[in-house]
Chains A and B, each alone.
Chain A
């Protein structure tokens, strides 16, 4: 069908012109038009992906010659259509939001650049998912990484953001390096750069698997490669955080699935490794999030948790597939993808709301919020929907996704291997713990941010944001509720008829009972408004309220093994021998386990090695002549040896 492909070309064209428009015309209308174009492209993609998911057609695209011997090909199947749908679901909300949000950037040039880069970023993510071979995949992957890097660095003058940008750059380059390694080893095996079914014995695929797992893992933010997320998100604009967390992490998941699904015979330990990695990410992500009081960093940790949940689903898929339980394997795979889709919706919603809150109050510190439900009622209501969805409460979409995974876990009694059952019980309980901790986390986030008395002057003076910044998050919010209610119907539309509770029925019944209770209980005499009882103190002050740190204290006590603290001495001396003390700082802070034990040692080693090498570069001509001489001698000896 020719028409279907036209939708993709249209979307790509719209995004491309959206990229160049603000750079060429450099005014507010061009920026508006640019976001309008990304909105149009997402509508086109929605139709395209929906049709493919429903009909199962796989349209063919002609190959594009890039360089001699290097072709880009585009291809779609149901997997990529699912992730295109994900992009198309997140982008509209972000575009509408950005129209207003971007105008708060510091200078005109930054506004134009940010608009252009946002479009480029969306385009790159789309093309990664559409890529039909490794060349295109890696090319667009790099564009995606670089455009997001520039967006993270949008506020490049701040020291903190520079550090965040550098951290992100190192991590994303590492990710690409591993991907290159993985794809090259695949290429050596197959002799082709196309993605195709890999009918090879699993032991020959060990190297590609490990490289791709690490490469995609870094980008998706799996523990222990997750540290760039809590740095990059607070630095990036909120609309970009929404795209990075909502879509870019899922693009990494897509890449990993693209490889994994093409392997006909995976090995059991792959599944076990993915499951353990997923459980660990989920649990540690949410545990770190609980301690966090920076709203965007908290959401970043929560993304790590959700990526963990998606990986749990993928791990289950591999395990069930190896064990020959095809139905359960499909259930877990659909559960993982569905959760990816849902997470894209509610996390972009939460990041957009967080952006509005940060914009209105001027701070990211949760301890300074409070009472926003009165000063920003609409944003708070949207934030509520996001919190309920991410806490996986029925009948929202967050619940529907986790329910699929629970079902996969609970039906695993068909497994014959007892040790696997033990593993699954452990994974199940950590999955349950994660879910409940996430609920506690979002009670804290919503409760401390939006409820009670404002804890600071900024929060008291906060004003509701303008319409586009409400309409933007309203779209994913509506989708969160709708995909939850219609989850059974949507899944069966896409061709998966699982035995799955009908949440629409549940939701309708909920509404009826609620309305009935409300009508029965309606009374004529109005409610009295009085003050909160403050133990006899005339009026309550914000300092009497529970704080964010106080709220998570019981859990911090329970998991105190994970939150270890470290005392750091930073003395300064007047002399080189360190005997005359000038001044110093001593701080007690949380032990940054992964950073201090996993990231710093190799970085330190590289640093030391570079110092060693830089000693050779002393700038004296005679020593360079000496190096050249030695090099020549070595060459002669080496070639002589060869001859």
Chain B
């Protein structure tokens, strides 16, 4: 362990955890504007979380330890995953933190237990959500792995810290292959965070429910933890996309001034991305469940194309 990584391990998760809910709110705000509403204040999401954290927890009488265990496990998994994506500065990699496959499987761990939590209460909604979530996750997985493989092919490393140290240090990082991968990464971001056209995070209608259905039986602080984990996942995937295509300002050294600059820049870039996501969601209707694999193939296509270009060029 070196000091740079220790400091990173302290700062990056806290920064990510604090910033994550903001972008949930921002996307909601953009969608509200697009629909001609005003929408809740940006900081409402923090008040909601605080309210939830102070409310009592209600468990279903059919549920077991899985339901009690899942919220903590999910947030822990995502907090560890936040050590994999450099948001403030790029540390020297330590002990495999930053490995892309470990990162992807930490997300899989979160999904696995969320799905089990959905089945635990015995409600048909939860089961439906788990079933759909695991099915869709299975279909997107090849696209995800190939997209990250494309990143690894282009940037010649399996470690995101090394990768993004490379993109950040380039003066003009916009290589055509990285743009192609970014399209895939954007689709993955949409899919993994359960946004339109895959899932509609704003409703509780049976027909559209995937992610919301699985956490329907969760209450109080457990719900707050799950929502935080979800927001964190969104922020981390946004971070991967931003660092790939628009890494300007990401500090590669341990310097308080530079870290502050990259924090502010990241907040702005993520804000921009959130606006784009909000507009993207507003412009699309939800797809039929069984049409979705075709949408995923698009992500697969762009990443496979990237690898082929890297190999043949």
Contact = CB atoms under 8 A, between A and B. Distances in A.
23 contacts: A403-B105, A411-B158, A425-B146, A428-B145, A429-B142, A430-B142, A433-B139, A439-B108, A440-B134, A440-B138, A500-B96, A502-B95, A506-B97, A510-B76, A521-B221, A525-B56, A527-B56, A527-B57, A532-B60, A532-B217, A540-B123, A546-B126, A554-B136
B217 A546 contact: no
A534 B123 contact: yes
Contact of A514 (B73, B128, B289): B73
B294 to A, nearest CB: 11
B141 A545 contact: no
Closest 4 CB pairs of A and B: A501-B96, A546-B127, A436-B141, A452-B122
Interface of B: 53, 56-66, 72-73, 75-77, 79-80, 83, 95-97, 99-102, 105-106, 108-109, 111-112, 115-116, 119-124, 126-128, 130-132, 134-146, 149, 152-153, 156, 158, 216-217, 220-221, 225, 289-290, 293, 300, 304, 307-308, 310-312
Contacts of A371: 62
A393 B62 CA distance: 26
B16 to A, nearest CB: 13
Contact of B127 (A446, A510, A551): A551
Contact of A532 (B62, B76, B131): B62
B311 A558 contact: no
Nearest to A527: B57
A43 B284 CA distance: 62
Given A391-B108, A530-B58, A530-B61, 13 more contacts: A373-B64, A403-B102, A415-B311, A430-B142, A450-B64, A451-B66, A451-B119, A452-B127, A501-B97, A513-B79, A517-B76, A540-B123, A546-B131
Interface string A424-463: 0100111111011101101110111011110000000000
A218 to B, nearest CB: 29
Nearest to A545: B122
Contacts of B77: 510
A107 B111 CA distance: 47
Given A501-B99, A521-B225, A513 B80 contact: yes
Nearest to A419: B311
Given A443-B119, A517-B225, A532-B123, A452 B62 contact: yes
Interface string A398-430: 010001001101110101001001100100111
A413 B122 CA distance: 47
A24 B80 CA distance: 58
B159 to A, nearest CB: 9
A452 B112 contact: no
B58 A425 contact: no
Contacts of A324: none
A428 B146 contact: yes
A596 interface: no
B161 to A, nearest CB: 12
Contacts of A534: 123
**Residue from A451, A453, A542 whose CB has the most chain B CB atoms within 10 Å:** A451
A286 B217 CA distance: 30
A421 B144 CA distance: 18
B96 A506 contact: yes
B152 to A, nearest CB: 5
Contacts of A442: 112
B308 A421 contact: yes
Contact of B109 (A393, A403, A555): A393
Given A432-B144, A433-B142, A550-B131, A443 B105 contact: no
A432 B142 contact: yes
A557 to B, nearest CB: 6
A394 B104 CA distance: 10
A438 to B, nearest CB: 9
A219 to B, nearest CB: 29
Contacts of A502: 95-96
Contact of B289 (A373, A435, A521, A554): A554
Interface in A548-564: 550-555, 557-558
Contacts of A525: 56
Contacts of A530: 58-61
Given A451-B66, A523-B221, A432 B310 contact: no
B146 A506 contact: no
A452 B145 contact: no
Nearest to A380: B64
A558 B61 contact: no
A609 interface: no
B95 A555 contact: no
A570 interface: no
Nearest to A528: B58
Contacts of A557: 290
B60 A531 contact: yes
A420 to B, nearest CB: 9
